[in-house]
Structure 1
Amino acid sequence: MTSFSQSELSTRTKEKLDLAANEIHIWVTKPEELLGNDELLATYSTLLTSTETAKQQRYKFAKDRHDALITRAFIRDLLSYYADVAPQDWQFEKGNKDKPEVINCPLPLRFNISHTKNLIICAVTLEDDIGCDVENTGRNNNVLAIAERYFSSKEIDELFALPEAQQRNRFFDYWTLKESYIKAWGLGLAIPLADFSFEINDTEHNHNGLFTIKQDINLSFAEHRVDEPQIWRSWLVYPTAAIDEKQEHRIAVSVRASSDNQKTDYQLRFFNTLPLLGYQEI
């Protein structure tokens, strides 16, 4: 992916951010941009708790240890743009659904992290459950076999009705959406992927020439699954060639509200950051 930190995109800042009730902030960072920056990486290490450090050090490969360090510094740093809590002072615990939550924040911040090859994202909102997923669509997988095994019959029918050239892209639409749904719940694959279906209207809009966004997305459930489609909203985000030269990344975000949110005018905002070095709104 072309660097998100190009200076022409905007000027970095460390100013505090406001987060409106109808906003979803999507943060991105590229761990490879920090390779070799030993002094900064050492500073990142001081932000982590002993438990986080032990988990990070258990990774066998240096690249995985590097990415794990960036991930922890990334979330600690970006949360500090919303509240007067230093990055090293954030406290986390597993919530009721075994999903990490902050326990010392003056705001009802909710967040979720996802990563793929050389890209880490975090979606942040207020109050509501949120899940996000990012995938590299260039990976070498037999995606249609995966779809036949895990998707709902409705999704499988729609997928295979498409021209063959479009099927791989649609697979990643469904996969990222499904991941964002189960991550918003915080229950992982305890929710069978065939128990819910997404229907994607291909109407789209452009965000600053950098992202194409689809938001006319409907969710339905198998008869035996207890859930309410009227409290869910989802988005598909496609980085354009301006920042993703090969256009091989797919992002999905899902929000679960406490009441009907179908008429809520959600606003997506995008931020690029390198931990402790400031951010750019893009």
Structure 2
Amino acid sequence: MTSFSKTDHATRSKQKLTLANNEIHLWMTKPEELLGNDELLSTYVTLLTSKETAKQQRYKFAEDRHDALITRAFIRDLLSYYADIAPQDWQFEKGEKDKPEIVNCPLPLRFNISHTKNLIICAVTLEDDIGCDVENIGRSNDVLAIAERYFSPKESDELFALPSDQQRNRFFDYWTLKESYIKAWGLGLAIPLKDFSFNISDTECNHKEVFTIKQNISLSFAKHRVDEPQIWRSWLVYPTTAIDEKQEHRIAISLRSKKSGSKNDNQKTDYQLRFFNSLPLLGYQEM
């Protein structure tokens, strides 16, 4: 990630962003880059509500407290690029599905946060339900055993039909997509992971300077699962070496259209993904 100097804040903080109806903005920050910056970290503390601070302080380990502080400062700061509300003045509440929603925004902003070792992300869009997930693909879990337990039969069959050296990567494709879907609903594991299946085509990729994006992804559902595949769009994002030197991370985004009636079909919508690096209160850079 590109470093920011203290002088960047004065200029970058004025660079407001607009968000079109067909845009998804994906924000990223690396909490380890802020280790030791005590002055800035102290400022972050002033942005949080007393409830947020109490929750952040409940983490047992210093690393987890650090990451929790960065996460709250990160979301408050980035939202202020879309509206004239100071980072400390954003208000949140649990929505009807227990998902955090913005209370006091003049725009219909929707967002979702995910974090893993050394990367925090936030997906932002207008009106539609959005979910995102980031995973560290170097973790030592027995991922194939997890697949056997949680994936749909269709996904498991496809996964284990691959050559063994490709199975771990495909596991994280499925896992992040499934997490992004349940996070877009805001219901977590109340939705059984076996009740929906992703189909991933390897024929279509969009190669950006620092990302490869896979977007030819479709959803299907078990007979008892009430949902509509035509209102969902999903993307896989593979950071390249310019942002993710060790190829550590896998990112997925799922979006659920909330338009009414016959318009509630987003399969032909030309969605545009934009990517931003930021360090809270020091500015952002679009990649």
Interval containing the TM-score (normalised by the shorter chain)? over 0.9
| One-letter identity of the residue aligned with 2:243 | I
Q: What is the match of residue 217 of structure 2?
A: 217
Q: 2:2 aligns with which of 5, 20, 34?
A: 5
Q: What is the match of residue 206 of structure 1?
A: 207
**Secondary structure, counterpart of 1:76 in structure 2:** helix
Instruction: Map 1:137-216; keep pairs closer than 5 Å.
Output: 137-202=137-202, 203-207=204-208, 209-216=209-216
Q: What is the match of residue 61 of structure 1?
A: 61
| One-letter identity of the residue aligned with 2:229 | P
Q: Distance in 2 between matches of 1:248 and 1:89?
A: 34
Instruction: Map 1:63-102; keep pairs closer than 5 Å.
Output: 63-102=63-102
Return structure 1 stretches of 4+ with deviation > 4 angstroms: none
Q: 1:262 aligns with which of 250, 258, 267?
A: 267
| One-letter identity of the residue aligned with 2:40 | L
**Secondary structure, counterpart of 1:111 in structure 2:** strand
Q: Distance in 2 between matches of 1:101 and 1:36?
A: 32
Q: What is the match of residue 235 of structure 1?
A: 235
Judging changes above 3 Å, is the alpha-carbon distance between structure 1 residues 40 and 6 closer, same or farther for their aligned structure 2 residues? closer
Shift of 1:246: 1.5
Q: Distance in 2 between matches of 1:93 and 1:55?
A: 15
Shift of 1:5: 1.7
| One-letter identity of the residue aligned with 1:206 | H
**Secondary structure, counterpart of 1:39 in structure 2:** helix
Q: What is the match of residue 261 of structure 2?
A: none
Q: TM-score under structure 1 normalisation?
A: 0.96
Q: Distance in 2 between matches of 1:231 and 1:211?
A: 25
Shift of 1:242: 1.9
Q: What is the match of residue 248 of structure 2?
A: 248
Q: What is the match of residue 135 of structure 1?
A: 135
Give CA-to-partner distance per residue, 1:17-43, whole Å, 9 cap, x none.
000000000000011101111111000
Q: Distance in 2 between matches of 1:267 and 1:119?
A: 22
Q: Which runs of 5+ in 2 are unaligned?
A: 259-263
Shift of 1:6: 4.8
**Secondary structure, counterpart of 2:12 in structure 1:** coil
Give CA-to-partner distance per residue, 1:134-188, whole Å, 9 cap, x none.
0000000101100000000000000000000000000000000000000000000
Count of residues in correspondence between the two structures: 275
Instruction: Map 1:264-279; keep pairs closer than 5 Å.
Output: 264-279=269-284
Shift of 1:241: 1.5
**Secondary structure, counterpart of 2:115 in structure 1:** strand
Q: Distance in 1 between matches of 2:27 and 2:46?
A: 22
Q: Distance in 2 between matches of 1:131 and 1:244?
A: 22
**Secondary structure, counterpart of 1:33 in structure 2:** helix
**Secondary structure, counterpart of 1:255 in structure 2:** strand
**Secondary structure, counterpart of 2:227 in structure 1:** coil
Q: Distance in 2 between matches of 1:34 and 1:240?
A: 22
Shift of 1:13: 2.2
Give CA-to-partner distance per residue, 1:20-73, whole Å, 9 cap, x none.
000000000011101111111000000000000000011111111110000000
Q: TM-score under structure 2 normalisation?
A: 0.94
**Secondary structure, counterpart of 1:158 in structure 2:** helix
